[in-house]
Amino acid sequence: DGSDRPVRDVTVLTNRGKVIRQGKWKLITHLGSGGFSRPRRVEPRPGGPKGQLYDLAADPSETTNLWLREPTIVDLLTERLAAARKKRFAAARKQ
């Protein structure tokens, strides 16, 4: 019946980075906490992840970054973030 699916993606766009949650997946476009806890910002290493991806159903504490293991999910959620950003700016222009 679809009752276990969210009504919509949860997307957060800030000056520090972008976050999207869709179903069990949470993608953060940067490394580090991006907030008050340290490290706030971490520079990507060559061959390492450029951001963070978590399976919240299996890892609700966000301890295992799946960015490199799930490139298809990273691409999908990155595209959804870009679409949300485009929609947000289009709506702002109409005001």
Domain ranges of the chain: 10-94
Over residues 12-33, mean pLDDT: 80
pTM of the predicted protein model = 0.73
Distance CA 37, CA 41 (A): 10
Residues 54, 26 contacting (CB under 8 angstroms): yes
pLDDT the model gives residue 26: 94
Strand partners for 56: none
Q: Which fold has domain 10-94?
A: Arylsulfatase, C-terminal domain (3.30.1120)
Q: What is the mean pLDDT of the chain?
A: 79
3-class secondary structure per residue, 47-74: CCCCCEEEECCCCCCCCCCCCCCCHHHH
| pLDDT tens-digit series, residues 45-77 | 888 999 999 999 999 999 999 999 999 999 999
Q: Who wins on pLDDT, 83 or 54?
A: 54
